[in-house]
Structure 1
Amino acid sequence: MLTIHAAPEVRISWDAEPVGDGAVVVEGDRIAAVGPLAEIEERFPGARTRSWPGVLGPGRVHEGPLPEAPSPRERVHAVLKLGAVAVVEEYVDSPELRAAAERNDVLVLSGARPRALVESGRADIAVFDGTGTCIATVCAGRLVHRRR
């Protein structure tokens, strides 16, 4: 199913100029298109649209130790709640934590690297409100965190 994630501001990378009234089209676990919402809606009629307030951009890489929590699953979920869809291998210090990351499609990277929204790239998206709080995280095309 095609899903359009739309926001008043979309950033292809966090240091790029924003696309006003932008959108990202997700098909499965991949990005099908990125651009102005009006153009996206013309290209993908009938797609389901999720409208988010705030700024939408690529999911982030969590560069430090994962937050403490009672279980590996909860530690990974705490990272997703921060808008991160990847963690640095150095901080995934147990087989249980690595398994929890893999079950949730969280990437385990050898080092931090910039992320970007690109066509045919993995659909990893984060949305932040005006205070910088993550309100939604999409990891490999799945909505895995949504602040109510």
Structure 2
Amino acid sequence: MLTIHADSRGHALAVRGERIEAAGPLAELSAGHPHARVRTWPGILTPGFVNLHGTELLERAYHPDPREAGTLGTEPLTGDALRALALDDARWGASARRGVQRMLAHGTVAAACEPFRIRAVQDAVRRTGLTVLPRPHHPGGTPSLDPLASDLPPETPPARTPGSAACFAVFDVHDETELAERGATATCVATVIAGRLLFRRR
């Protein structure tokens, strides 16, 4: 089934399966594909982000379960706080899944990672659908779920063109300048990876 994703500016992507079939103005794509399902999003369609700190956020941090907020808080735990938890495989896997979900909520479509050392993390991340890119060295900057807050220039995937993987994000802002000013934390509306809607703000 063909789905057309369109933003407030009238920019649109026609997606079939895992691939982008066409890109252009909504009116043009709708006319060319009159039977397609149309999703209209507030804000702007962007390629999404590559989070360069995938290793630090998924294998060197623990993302507390909401039920643990009373004792562990809600922010990722690292360093001594992480070591004190003595996590087993089940908790590592659950943490990695929550970490990926939190990345998706910031418009992240890919994470750069060193090879995972914890099998439970590797398996959990693979099942989420997040694209994992090789990372030959530490990129510097400050690990953050919001790539715009990492003290590094934001990195985005290649431009979305017909035939390329349908990976993109939607931010409820007027333009890229407002996105840079407000950040991804409160503005991400949706994240799509390989044609699958993996995050949608309710």
TM-score category, normalised to shorter length: 0.7 to 0.9
What's 1:25 paired with? 14
Matched-pair identity in %: 45
What's 1:109 paired with? 133
TM-score by length of 2: 0.62
Q: Distance in 2 between matches of 1:94 and 1:82?
A: 24
Equivalent position amino acid for 1:85 in 2:
V
Structure 2 counterpart of 1:79, from 103, 106, 109: 103
Larger radius of gyration: 2
Q: Which runs of 5+ in 2 are unaligned?
A: 65-94, 140-154, 174-181
Moved more, 107-116 or 27-36: 107-116
Secondary structure of 1:25 counterpart: strand
**Structure 2 contact 169–191 (Cα < 8 Å) conserved:** yes
**1:91 Cα deviation after fit:** 8.0
Secondary structure of 2:124 counterpart: helix
Equivalent position amino acid for 1:119 in 2:
P
| Residue 42 of structure 2 corresponds to residue 53 of structure 1 | yes
Equivalent position amino acid for 2:3 in 1:
T
Equivalent position amino acid for 1:2 in 2:
L
Deviations 1:126-145 (A, max 9, x none): 00112442110011111111
| Residue 172 of structure 2 corresponds to residue 129 of structure 1 | yes
Q: Distance in 1 between matches of 2:45 and 2:115?
A: 26
**1:92 Cα deviation after fit:** 4.8
**1:76 Cα deviation after fit:** 1.1
Moved more, 83-92 or 50-59: 83-92
Equivalent position amino acid for 2:21 in 1:
A
**Structure 1 contact 126–137 (Cα < 8 Å) conserved:** yes
Equivalent position amino acid for 1:107 in 2:
T
| Residue 82 of structure 2 corresponds to residue 88 of structure 1 | no
**1:95 Cα deviation after fit:** 2.4
Moved more, 104-113 or 25-34: 104-113
What's 1:147 paired with? 201
Q: Which runs of 5+ in 1 are unaligned?
A: 10-20
Equivalent position amino acid for 1:141 in 2:
G
Structure 1 counterpart of 2:192, from 131, 138, 141: 138
Greater strand fraction, Structure 1 or Structure 2: 1
Q: Distance in 1 between matches of 2:169 and 2:57?
A: 18
Q: Distance in 2 between matches of 1:46 and 1:74?
A: 36
